[in-house]
Chain A
């Protein structure tokens, strides 16, 4: 009996130790948490950030962002393009590195770039998002003397072209079009004839081949020249990538991060629930947890027990949370009402409450530490109900005996100040912001109704313009200042959900995007921020800091404010302590 008890105790303690001890970092695989499945790895579709990250492991681009330099650097291209401008065109000439080869040993040539652009514009394939992004590339001219050199013909002028013309993954021609059936068709012709797949047998056959390949779940059928290959994918469970034993960039021994790939395996674990993901990280079942909720991040960081096993990184991101006004609503048409409502957000308290201080306020859409382009002469948003009260009265609103606000519209009809604030249910911070506004507005007698909406319903309502105020996340970048998608009158109904836009603001947006001289662009940016500050189609509540927690056995995560917030291919294991 005594032996039996001892035996049971031994088994139980063994099991307990096995459950509680942290696992050693697997030397061969880095396990990273993803909140959702990439869903579709078809290079023409890539529906979410995770799919984009996966595609960048499988394929290479002409240019890639080096997070350590915060700028675009050559990847497949030998150098940044040479730019030549004519009256209405911009010509960008690239040359591909001689070392760049596909998995079958064939070199990556200008012909492959031409093929990629043609696929991106091929009628019958899902080309909409690519055309919207790279529609400015009108044609490609191959150099007859050098099979690696080519010139992209772009319509109009923009400083952005120098890098955006190389920021798409390059596809191999040999697996999908071994006979070169697309070669006789020029890019211009494919763009012009949207029904070419029905007229031309060769294009129709190519489209069928492309669709039959089912690249959405079988990217291995279109092997790229990226550093990894897909090893396994179980939808909504995990997706893992294996380092190619011999990748063309290895021989370069470049210091540029896009030309390095250290982990032998990358295993992305799909864990939708944040609490489960935190538990997995603490148990050692995960090595990297990007975008950890602020509260958990701070709690783990302050817990001394985690000091030896986990490391915590933050970086100022370009992601901001904004409160936007639908100025097509009668109550929100005048800027003073919008200014008044902006004074009801208690930004410092919201930063502390929702982000645990891991965020920072801004006067507008430019990140405060972006240099002289940030207009620091403007005041930061302040919580000031008295100013809000004065502004409401200035806007013509009159306090009623029941505590509410009323004014006469242009038609003479009475108009009540009563608003809804809509937001996605996905982020709990939105609810806190909406409740804080509701509480502050209620003190002034303004009824504000929080309206949490499921993502697709929220999008639908934004497009239809049936919201009053809404909370929205906007992500910027350090490379270009293009506000047209969110604030130009041409974007009303697509990306400009505020309905804002004047001739002056449109002109300013276009001038900022086209300006090449930095000093002049800085001036324009500062003017634009002042304009937004006065007109208040939206108010930037705060910029977020990206947060990454990782195993202490890892190093070189290259945590930056750019999405996805870290660089998986740069991660290395720390050398063992002597």
Chain B
């Protein structure tokens, strides 16, 4: 039974992926963004529109297929970006903690000033590079002048990352996304960046915890005793193990981000009105309360996708536990 549900999930996701990829070349009778003014809120299985139309006369079938593409085009890259960012920040926080990374005061001050300058100026890449070059030159000069300044201090990396996570998670995710989306006009790239920037703390917490565990393992102790550098230890010996855990949770991240994208489209923020999305189709049911198909069709697709991704995640986690 478990095997069957796993296969059904995989088949569903593969079909969805295939439809999304081939959406442009599929022989769909209607485009997802063109209103059919003669068939406003047409019921399904009764006319030319197989799954009916929404309150603006847009074809529901085309909306679902192109909506799947939108969901994947936004949630997959957002998941990957947030996973990379979260893994990076979580790993360095878990590996170095608050005491183990030591930097000279000059480097810390320079980095701080650099960060401040970037934040204040919000300048282009050229300006960043110039600031970096000046900072580097200044650093060399200062180090030559005085050896005292080169005494090192611990960098509270773990505390800094935890603080950032606390700041982001203290505000409800939806409220934060709505606030960010309100600043910029709706567009797919903007939504992708927003989702990625919002979602990384979940991955970072996972990666941090895993890195803290791995760091204590005997093989890591042995590698350190052999004189391997930190970056070698992290990249070659710790990250592959961390990535297994993060990878197992990836389907759940995709599901969450699809849900978030759908919610935002439902609320009318995030994506422009001509971009097909499941949330947009669901939202049009508010204009047509009797059009059940506007809830049932996208709702079913959404629920099936969520369940399939969950099933996939569970299978991955079980595999991970078994150590396969």
Residues of B within 8 A of A435 (CB): 33-35, 56, 58, 273-274
Instruction: Report whether A449 and B272 are in contact in the complex, using a CB–CB cutoff of 8 Å.
Output: yes
Contacts of A346 in B (CB 8 A): 37
Q: Are A353 and B33 in contact (CB under 8 A)?
A: no
* Alpha-carbon distance between A452 and B40 when the two chains are bound, in angstroms: 20
> Of all chain B residues, which has the CB nearest A420?
B185
Query: A259-278: which have CB < 8 Å to B?
Result: 275, 278
The secondary structure that dominates the A interface is helix
Interface contact B35-A436, CB-CB below 8 Å: yes
Given contacts A435-B34, A438-B33, contact A295 B288 (CB under 8 A): yes
Distance A301 CA – B33 CA, assembled complex (angstroms): 31
Mask, B22-50, CB within 8 Å of A = 1, is: 00000000010111011011000000000
Cβ-defined contact, A428 with B35, below 8 A: no
User: A452 contacts which of B37, B58, B273, B286 (Cβ < 8 Å)?
Assistant: B273
> Which residues, 274 to 324 on B, are CB-close (under 8 Å) to A?
274, 286-290
B189 beta carbon closer than 8 Å to chain A: no
What is the distance, in angstroms, from A442's C-beta to the closest C-beta of chain B? 8
Cross-chain contact A434 with B273 (CB below 8 angstroms): yes
Question: Once the chains bind, are A450 and B272 in contact (CB under 8 Å)?
Answer: yes
Shortest distance from the beta carbon of B31 to any chain A beta carbon, whole Å: 8
Q: How far is the CA of A295 from the CA of B288 in the complex (A)?
A: 8
Is the C-beta of A502 less than 8 angstroms from some C-beta in chain B?
no
Chain A residues whose CB sits within 8 angstroms of the CB of B268 once the complex forms? 425, 452
A482 at the interface (CB under 8 A from B): no
A295: chain B residues within 8 A (beta carbon): 40-41, 55, 287-288
Given A438-B33, A439-B34, CB of A428 within 8 Å of CB of B55: yes
The verdict on A431 contacting chain B, using a C-beta distance below 8 Å, is yes
* Contact A438 B289, beta carbon cutoff 8 Å: no
A352 within 8 A of partner (CB) = yes
Decide if B289 touches A353 in the complex (CB within 8 Å): no
Residues of B within 8 A of A449 (CB): 272, 274
Question: Which residues of B sit under 8 angstroms from A350, Cβ to Cβ?
Answer: 37
Inter-chain contact total with CB atoms closer than 8 Å: 59
For A425, what are the chain B residues with a Cβ–Cβ distance below 8 Å?
A: 268
Q: In chain A between 285 and 326, which residues have their CB closer than 8 angstroms to a CB of chain B?
A: 293, 295, 299
**Residues in chain B near residue A431, CB distance under 8 A:** 56, 273
- Determine the distance from Cα of A349 to Cα of B268 in the docked complex, in whole angstroms: 25
- Asked whether A450 lies within 8 Å of B273 as measured between CB atoms, the reply is yes
A residues 410-466 in Cβ contact with B at 8 Å: 425, 428, 431-432, 434-436, 438-439, 449-452
User: Are the C-beta atoms of B33 and A439 separated by less than 8 Å?
Assistant: yes
Verify B37–A438 contact, CB threshold 8 A: no
Tell me if A438 and B41 are in contact (CB < 8 A).
no
Q: Choose among A299, A353, A434 the residue that contacts B37 (Cβ–Cβ < 8 A).
A: A353
- Do the beta carbons of A436 and B274 come within 8 Å of each other? no
Q: How far is the CA of A436 from the CA of B31 in the complex (A)?
A: 12
A428 with B56: in contact, given A299-B290, A449-B272 (CB under 8 Å)? yes
Taking a contact as CB atoms under 8 Å apart, the answer to whether B40 and A438 are in contact is no
B57 within 8 A of A: yes
A385 CB to closest chain B CB (Å) equals: 14
Tally of chain A residues near chain B (CB < 8 A): 24
Give the secondary structure class of B's interface.
loop
A425 to B182 alpha-carbon distance, docked (Å): 14
Partner of A278 from the list B31, B34, B286, B289 (CB cut-off 8 Å) is: B289
Chain A residues near B272 (CB, 8 Å)?
449-451
Contact call A432/B35, Cβ cutoff below 8 A? yes
Which partner residue on chain A sits nearest B31 by CB separation?
A: A439
- B290 (CB) vs chain A CBs: closest residue: A299
Question: Quick check: A439 and B56 within 8 Å, CB to CB?
Answer: no
Partner of A436, one of B37, B55, B185, B290: B37
A428: which B residues are within 8 A, CB to CB? 55-56, 287
B286 and A275 contacting across the interface, CB-CB below 8 Å: yes
Residues of B within 8 A of A452 (CB): 268, 273
Least CB distance, B93 to chain A, in whole angstroms = 39
Minimum C-beta distance from A141 to chain B (A): 54
Do B274 and A275 touch (CB < 8 A)?
no
Which B residues are CB-close (under 8 A) to A436?
35, 37
Q: Could you tell me the distance between the alpha carbons of A428 and B37 in the complex, rounded to whole angstroms?
A: 14
Which residue of chain A has the shortest Cβ distance to B34 in the bound complex?
Answer: A439
Which chain A residues lie closer than 8 Å to B289 at the CB level?
275, 278
Contacts of A353 in B (CB 8 A): 35, 37-38, 40, 57
A450 to B34, CA, bound (A): 12
CB distance from B187 to the nearest CB of A (A): 10
| A275 neighbours in B (Cβ, 8 Å) | 286, 289
Kindly provide the distance from the CB of A503 to the nearest chain B CB, expressed in whole angstroms.
38
A428–B31 alpha-carbon span in the complex (Å):
20
Q: A275-B286, A299-B290, A350-B37 are in contact. Are A438 and B55 (CB under 8 A)?
A: no
Q: Binary interface profile of A, 345-381, with partner B (CB < 8 Å = 1, else 0)?
A: 0100110111000000000000000000000000000
Q: How far is the CB of A456 from chain B (nearest CB, A)?
A: 12
Cα-based distance from A175 to B40 in the complex (angstroms) = 56
Determine whether the beta carbon of A349 is less than 8 Å from that of B38.
yes
Q: How far is the CB of A8 from chain B (nearest CB, A)?
A: 31
Complex: A431 Cα to B280 Cα, angstroms = 12
| Complex CA–CA separation, A451 to B287 (angstroms) | 19
Given A353-B40, A439-B33, A451-B185, A432-B56 contact (CB < 8 Å): yes
What residues on A are CB-neighbors of B41 within 8 Å? Answer: 295
- Taking the closest CB of chain B, its distance from the CB of A332, in whole angstroms, is 20
Report Cα–Cα, A353/B38, bound state, in Å: 7
Chain A residues with Cβ under 8 A from B286's Cβ? 275
Query: In whole angstroms, what is the CA distance A438 to B38 when docked?
Result: 17
Residues of A within 8 A of B185 (CB): 451
- Are A450's CB and B274's CB within 8 A? yes
Contacts A425-B268, A428-B287 given: A349-B37 contact, CB under 8 Å?
yes
Report the separation of the CA atoms of residues A203 and B278 in the bound assembly, to the nearest whole angstrom: 61
How distant is A236 from chain B, measured CB to nearest CB, in Å?
19
- Per-residue B-contact encoding for A79-110, CB less than 8 Å = 1, 0 else: 00000000000000000000000000000000
Instruction: Assess whether B56 is in contact with A438, with CB atoms less than 8 Å apart.
Output: no
**Once the chains are docked, how many angstroms separate the CA of A438 from the CA of B31?**
13
* CB neighbours of B288 from chain A (8 A): 295
A299 cross-chain contacts in B, Cβ below 8 A: 290
Residues on the B chain within 8 Å of A438, using CB:
33, 274
Complex CA distance for A431 and B40, rounded to whole angstroms: 13
Q: Which residues of A contact B58 (CB under 8 A)?
A: 435
In the assembled complex, which residues on chain B have CB atoms less than 8 Å from the CB atom of A278? 289
A516 CB → nearest B CB, Å: 44
B40 to chain A, nearest CB (A): 5
The CB with the most chain B CB atoms within 10 A, among A353, A354, A452, is that of: A353
| Min CB gap B117→A, angstroms | 32
**A residues near B290, Cβ cutoff 8 Å:** 299
Q: CA separation between A396 and B286, bound complex, in Å?
A: 44
Tell me how far the C-beta of B54 lies from the nearest C-beta in chain A, rounded to whole angstroms.
10
**12 additional A-B residue pairs with CB within 8 Å, beyond A349-B38, A435-B35, A435-B273:** A293-B287, A295-B40, A299-B290, A353-B37, A431-B273, A432-B37, A432-B40, A435-B34, A435-B58, A449-B272, A451-B272, A452-B268
Closest 5 CB pairs of A and B: A349-B37, A353-B37, A275-B289, A439-B34, A432-B56
**28 interchain pairs, CB-CB under 8 A:** A275-B289, A295-B288, A299-B290, A349-B38, A352-B38, A353-B37, A428-B55, A428-B56, A428-B287, A432-B35, A432-B40, A432-B55, A432-B57, A434-B273, A435-B34, A435-B56, A435-B58, A435-B273, A435-B274, A436-B35, A438-B274, A439-B35, A449-B272, A450-B272, A450-B273, A451-B185, A452-B268, A452-B273
